[in-house]
Structure 1
Amino acid sequence: MDLAVGTGLDTGAGTGVGAGQGGYTPFVRVTGPGGEQLPWVLVRAPVVTRAHHLRLAALARAGVRFAGVTSHLGFPGPPWRDERDYGLLCEAWLHCFRDPEHFLPPDGPRLLTSESDFTDPLRVDPARLAVGAVGAAGAGTEGAAGPDIVHVSGREPWRQEAKNWPLAARCLRRLARETGLRILVVDAPAGVEPICGVRMVGPLPWRRLLAVIAGARALFVPAVIDASPRVLAEALCLDVPVVVNRAILGGWQYVNPFTGVFFDGEDDAVAAVRAVLDARQRPRAWFAAHHGPARAGARVLRLLSALDDSLPGSLTHVLLTPDQGPGTR
């Protein structure tokens, strides 16, 4: 899950799932296209706080049925969950993994679909943004020259691990030294050693972050433990190609000749960036043709309908929205 920076997500109705450190909920409501609640909730992260345990119990008493969605690091693999048996709780799984048997409970249907698949190209649209560079203190400067390469990191230690800052720093150092490209790190880790030729700024509001990415030539994604990297999907919607760590848990399914390239480590990062900058790609057209709320929601609806014949036959797709119950915000 990409918590990105600021809010990190477009949390408008029908676009996907909002998440932030201050208002995070592990529960995601499945709704109809008009926002009508359906009797399904997705569990996307360990249920660890007392408030979330109480909310889970309340949802169960209300007759809600549960499915899982892989959104938080390697959840529900053993290193990334609590003591709860999520195989018993969740009847099905939406997942992002190449090798789901290493992470998911052994039983129940599975669907290769991520929260980030619901990113909406109609809302994440470069034509709707004031594209420009990042000025002093992270402020935008419309019309000024933007970076060639953008990497979105994180200040907190857990986020640095998720975004793989150690590898990012090594790769960006070589990129700056060997290519002379303009490189920007957004939400740079606090207190890290400066990298010659790499500009670092703090967190940006979500729309400002989109504008900065839209003005770049590529997004650099060295993450491994990232299950639903929304910033990757957003870059594709902004028609910006991506350079992605081949070992990433989720988001690998977005990388193809139309959208970007993989790299394996420090030694081939420069070559991968050069390759993506030299290629003629159409990431926005590819993403819109394969993902977005209607397409992802139709896939999820087919999965849930096979388990629940009470779902309205008139539905064409479902949407995902954060659960707003007591104790979740």
Structure 2
Amino acid sequence: MGSFIFQFSGCLKHRSNYVKPVLPHLPANPSSMFTGAYYAITWKSCRLLTKQWKRFLLRLCLFVVVAVVLGSQLWQYRQVLGGQLHLPPPQASASLRGGSAQPLTGATENANLLQKPVQVLALRAAGASAGRAAQQAQQAQQEHELQEGTQRREQQQQQARAAQMLEKQRRLEDEHQQRQQREQRESELKRKREPTKLHPKYRELIREYPFQPVRTNQGQFVNIILVRSQLSSPHHRQLYEKYKDEILFMGISSMEDYPLVPPNPYTGKWPADEYVGLFPGFLHMFRDTSVFPSHVKLLLMSQSDFSLPYPAQRVPKKYDFTFSGSDQDVNNDCVGWSSFAKNWTFAKEALEVMCGELGMTGVLVATKDKQNVKACSIPKVCEGKIVQTTFLDQRDFLNYVKQSRFLFVPQVHDASPRVATQALALDVPLLMNYNLIGGWKYLNEKTGEFFHDMSDFRESLQRFKRNEGQYEPSKWVREHYGDAISGARLKDFVEENFPERIMLPPGTLRLFPSGA
């Protein structure tokens, strides 16, 4: 094939000499006609062969060359991928790079020529492997971070669940302890079976003024005595000391600032700490309970929380206000113990504004003596506008209250102004001194208005006029006070705080201070 190609290429280059090498057996005499025709035909054939087969032969040669090269490369790739081709040792590589002075043989040259594409493939394979390794490492890192985040969240959730379980366990322990204590108290009560017996000296004790009895809703006395004022005589103190372990004595706010020392100059004094911690329990009226030591059981309750009057039919308003005083100081122009407790001096200043500036009318109860002759002096601007009465019974007093637009309560040192809840029960709002030591708990936006002193007294009156139609005193007081509500509170207070001392009679639903 190679010889033919060589001869043919010679024909192309030297067409005039083509016949001789191709047909050496023909006669070379050109004079012959046959010979000339033969040469002409042969020459034409050569030209035709050149034109038709030139491209084919060139393409065939190119195809053969490409096939040989590709076959060699594919064979090398197969050897590399199959692990059958061994790379030359480092020394041979060095010689390929020119690092050795020894001459290369033909086999070495062929090996180096084959080694170059192999090295390229190896580098590409190594690069691809490194890329895959890096990608796998990055993916592994992301999975690791995701796993760590999941673990952290699980740990936080476990910690939160552990904290919740601990809190729940603590709460259950507290509830269990409280239940045990309650069951222990109940078992102690059950062991007693019978209610606490009334002390033989009980009825004798309650004849003394400071000692107030307690009854059940069934009218039975219970072994409890309320001390409603200071023990003013040594005899009272001796009685208390003698029976305090056999009868449950509790204090109750009913007289001026008691158990605190009253500022009233007409009242006896005692050490400041004598009564605040004397009894194991106290029914008090203070805003600030820090006046009592921690061992005293406290209940915000006053005598005025009980015995509300029955609802009354509305009557036309005849007066603007009613004030409840006392007649025991009339002979001294209302200067004395009761007048100090009722804050009569301030009441007279307020009358100047109510009668003089605003033209109000009112009733001053118990500001005349029992003979209805002498009366406490009042400002001249109130003449013809104010009615002064003697000391009245409850029915007559409440009739005046019902005919008034509000009850005027100027006093400060009054522990339990029962007239306040009585007026509210009759649907009459209050105009009350904010500094009142007891009774402040009855006043809110539904029951009336506060004033502090003369500096805001006029403003309070104007505010009362604006809000007069919005008050609901009767509804509010009956929802929060009265025998049913306050009696149940007192009964619960005794049972919760003194179960070891008092076992109430069967059927007891409420307890009431009585004899006031």
* Structure 2 counterpart of 1:126: 312
Q: Does structure 1 retain, via aligned residues, the 8 Å contact 2:412–2:436?
A: yes
Against the structure 1 CA distance between its residues 100 and 200, is the aligned structure 2 distance closer, same or farther, given a 3 Å change threshold? same
Map 1:144-183 onto structure 2 (within 5 A). 146-155=318-327, 156=329, 157-183=336-362
Q: Does structure 1 retain, via aligned residues, the 8 Å contact 2:297–2:497?
A: no
* Structure 2 counterpart of 1:327: none
Larger radius of gyration between Structure 1 and Structure 2: 2
Q: 1:108 is matched with which residue: 296, 303, 308?
A: 296
The answer as to 2:213 corresponding to 1:37 is: no
Q: 1:69 is matched with which residue: 230, 252, 260?
A: 252
* Structure 2 counterpart of 1:92: 281
Q: Does structure 2 retain, via aligned residues, the 8 Å contact 1:218–1:277?
A: no
- Aligned-residue Cα RMSD (Å) equals 2.6
Q: Does structure 2 retain, via aligned residues, the 8 Å contact 1:47–1:82?
A: no
Against the structure 1 CA distance between its residues 51 and 238, is the aligned structure 2 distance closer, same or farther, given a 3 Å change threshold? farther
Q: Could you tell me how far 1:74 is from its partner in structure 2? A: 0.6
* Structure 1 counterpart of 2:365: 186
Q: Does structure 1 retain, via aligned residues, the 8 Å contact 2:348–2:378?
A: no
Q: 1:293 is matched with which residue: 483, 487, 492?
A: 483
User: Hey, what's the Cα distance between the residues in 2 that align with 1:266 and 1:70?
Assistant: 28
User: Hey, what's the Cα distance between the residues in 1 that align with 2:278 and 2:356?
Assistant: 51
Against the structure 1 CA distance between its residues 24 and 65, is the aligned structure 2 distance closer, same or farther, given a 3 Å change threshold? closer
Q: Could you tell me how far 1:251 is from its partner in structure 2? A: 0.6
C-alpha offsets along residues 79-117 of structure 1, whole Å, 9 cap, x if unaligned? 476469435541111111111223x45531111111101
More strand per residue: 1
User: Hey, what's the Cα distance between the residues in 2 that align with 1:160 and 1:87?
Assistant: 26
Q: Could you tell me how far 1:126 is from its partner in structure 2? A: 2.2
User: Hey, what's the Cα distance between the residues in 2 that align with 1:81 and 1:320?
Assistant: 26
C-alpha offsets along residues 241-285 of structure 1, whole Å, 9 cap, x if unaligned? 000001110111000011001001123223323322432211011
Q: Does structure 1 retain, via aligned residues, the 8 Å contact 2:375–2:388?
A: no
Q: Could you tell me how far 1:193 is from its partner in structure 2? A: 2.8
More helix per residue: 2
User: Hey, what's the Cα distance between the residues in 2 that align with 1:230 and 1:205?
Assistant: 14
User: Hey, what's the Cα distance between the residues in 2 that align with 1:91 and 1:72?
Assistant: 19
Q: Could you tell me how far 1:58 is from its partner in structure 2? A: 7.0
* Structure 1 counterpart of 2:427: 239
User: Hey, what's the Cα distance between the residues in 1 that align with 2:208 and 2:338?
Assistant: 15
User: Hey, what's the Cα distance between the residues in 1 that align with 2:514 and 2:407?
Assistant: 27
Q: Does structure 1 retain, via aligned residues, the 8 Å contact 2:410–2:432?
A: yes
Q: Could you tell me how far 1:203 is from its partner in structure 2? A: 1.5
Q: What is the TM-score normalised by the length of structure 1?
A: 0.78
User: Hey, what's the Cα distance between the residues in 1 that align with 2:419 and 2:235?
Assistant: 29
The answer as to 2:508 corresponding to 1:315 is: yes
- Paired positions, count: 283
C-alpha offsets along residues 28-78 of structure 1, whole Å, 9 cap, x if unaligned? 2121101101111111101214664565467548x2111111111110113
User: Hey, what's the Cα distance between the residues in 1 that align with 2:305 and 2:269?
Assistant: 23
SS in 1 for 2:214: strand
Q: 2:492 is matched with which residue: 280, 302, 324?
A: 302
Instruction: Give the letter aligned to residue 263 of structure 1.
Output: F
Instruction: Give the letter aligned to residue 508 of structure 2.
Output: L
Q: Does structure 2 retain, via aligned residues, the 8 Å contact 1:217–1:277?
A: no
User: Hey, what's the Cα distance between the residues in 1 that align with 2:417 and 2:293?
Assistant: 22
Gaps of at least 5 residues in structure 1 are 1-22, 132-142, 324-329
SS in 2 for 1:116: helix
* Structure 1 counterpart of 2:161: none
The answer as to 2:210 corresponding to 1:26 is: yes
Q: Does structure 2 retain, via aligned residues, the 8 Å contact 1:46–1:81?
A: no
Q: Could you tell me how far 1:308 is from its partner in structure 2? A: 2.7
Relative to structure 2, which stretch is displaced further, 245-254 or 50-59?
50-59
Instruction: Give the letter aligned to residue 318 of structure 2.
Output: G
Relative to structure 2, which stretch is displaced further, 83-92 or 261-270?
83-92
* Structure 1 counterpart of 2:391: 203
Instruction: Give the letter aligned to residue 285 of structure 1.
Output: K
User: Hey, what's the Cα distance between the residues in 1 that align with 2:243 and 2:486?
Assistant: 24
